[in-house]
Amino acid sequence: MRLFGGKGPAITNGLDIGTSYIKLVRLQHLNEIDVNLLGYGLKKVPRDAIVEKEIRDHDTVLGIIQSLIDEVDPSIKEVSISLAGRRVFTDKFQVKVPKKRENLRESIMIEAEQKLPMGTEGLIIDYHILHESEDSKTAEILMVAVHNDFLRDYVLLMQDGGYSVVGVDVDYIALTNALKHNIIVNPEDSQVIVDIGNSITNLTFLLNGAYFNVRDITGGTLDIWKTIQMKLRVSPEELSQLESGEATWPNESEFQNAVYAATEELKMGLDMAFSYFENITKGNQISQLYLAGGGSIIPYLGEVLSEKLSLTYQVLNPFYKLHYDPSIFVGTSPEAIAPLFSVAVGLGLRKD
């Protein structure tokens, strides 16, 4: 199976199997630019059913996916999925484009093998062409390698439910696509997409308006909410209401202080990652923060991080440029939930 891409249908279904929430969007591609959001949905995953992106409780996860699909559109049979975590490797390199272009894949594969110190056994390798020189002599390649059995677990899970996986991507490419579809990034500056998930925060760096590299930092909403719970002394029931946005804390400044304390570790992780980026790009500084994932919905989190890092921020709303019938957002607003769907939308936007 090829990683990356599907077969180019007019309707795509992006399924983001997160550790704490499974998200689905159904998109209709009207033309190259206009995309309709036909439906969306999310369902909570019980703790430990997925650990570090590995599916531990097959039946439970499949049951959740089936009920999510039934809710969004029971006719869905084909989905695109995303992989992430420590069993996905990535690297970037230049290759000479061979005179016979059909040999490009082979040249890339030879170079890719050199880049994998552990060898290529048991891995599936694929690539994206990020950039080609103007004379078409060299190309910049993004290589992605995943463990065969890791990918197979996902594909077999879907097959067991009677679905087929028509596209496989990785979180950071999906996020880059979601960003670029909705926001015009300044190619003069460097930006970072910070996807604050359940246990991991994923950073995708952009340089010259294009994907540059990626870094994971440990910690996400689980740790943030744990600290908020401790600081505000809330019960598990109250916490779950705060987490899902069903309730808000009555004393705003108290909540803001708790978020301030709860984001200290994340701030330190971001600082380190930004210094690393600055070093490897010989002095490029991040100028803009795009926040994605469930963490970006936590009240005050954006303001607090922006203040701590002295950077402007914007919450990535992957629905922003999509067309939709407003009635699909019953009882909620697109802005309130959109950041949860950045990966799912990015998956769905891909047609190639």
Ligand X SMILES: Nc1ncnc2c1ncn2[C@@H]1O[C@H](COP(=O)(O)OP(=O)(O)OP(=O)(O)O)[C@@H](O)[C@H]1O
Query: What is the DSSP annotation of 155-201?
Result: HHHHHHTT-EEEEEEEHHHHHHHHHHHH----TTSEEEEEEE-SSEE
DSSP character at residue 25: E
- 245 binds ligand X, rule: CB under 6 A: yes
- 263 binds ligand X, rule: CB under 6 A: no
Stretch binding ligand X (CB under 6 A), from 105-113, 138-146, 178-186, 195-203 = 195-203
Buried b (16+ CB within 10 A) or exposed e, 177-208: bbbbbbbebeeeebbbbbbbbbbbbbbbbbbe
The interface mask with ligand X, positions 274-313, x = CB under 6 A, is -------------------xx--x----------------
Stretch binding Mg ion (CB under 5 A), from 3-11, 23-31, 141-149, 194-202 = 194-202
Question: Is the CB of 190 or the CB of 204 nearer to Mg ion?
Answer: 204
Q: Are strands 78-83 and 11-17 parallel, antiparallel or unpaired?
A: parallel
Question: Is the CB of 23 or the CB of 234 nearer to Mg ion?
Answer: 23
- 269 binds Mg ion, rule: CB under 5 A: no
Dmax over CA atoms of the chain, in Å, equals 67
Residue 19 interface partner, choices Mg ion, ligand X, none, CB cut-off 5-8 Å depending on type: ligand X
Question: Is the CB of 200 or the CB of 289 nearer to ligand X?
Answer: 200
Nearest to 50 by CA among 64, 61, 66: 61
- 85 binds Mg ion, rule: CB under 5 A: no
* CB proximity list for 273: less than 8 A, separation 6 or greater: 203, 215, 217
Which ranges of the chain would DSSP assign to H, the alpha helix? 58-72, 104-115, 148-160, 171-182, 221-232, 236-243, 252-262, 264-280, 301-309, 334-337, 342-349
Question: Is the CB of 183 or the CB of 239 nearer to ligand X?
Answer: 239
Of the candidate residues 13, 199, 213, 229, the single one contacting ligand X (CB under 6 A): 199
Task: Tell me the closest approach of the beta carbon of residue 185 to ligand X, in angstroms.
Answer: 21
The amino acid at residue 7 is K
* CB proximity list for 336: less than 8 A, separation 6 or greater: 245, 297
- 197 binds Mg ion, rule: CB under 5 A: yes
Tokens representing 327 are 């009635």
Of the candidate residues 176, 190, 191, 198, the single one contacting ligand X (CB under 6 A): 198
Distance, CA of 227 to CA of 219 (rounded, Å): 12
The interface mask with ligand X, positions 306-345, x = CB under 6 A, is -------------------------------x--x-----
Residue 191 interface partner, choices Mg ion, ligand X, none, CB cut-off 5-8 Å depending on type: none
- 269 binds ligand X, rule: CB under 6 A: no
Where does this chain bind ligand X (CB under 6 A)? 18-21, 197-200, 220-221, 225, 243-245, 293-294, 297, 337, 340
Where does this chain bind Mg ion (CB under 5 A)? 18, 197
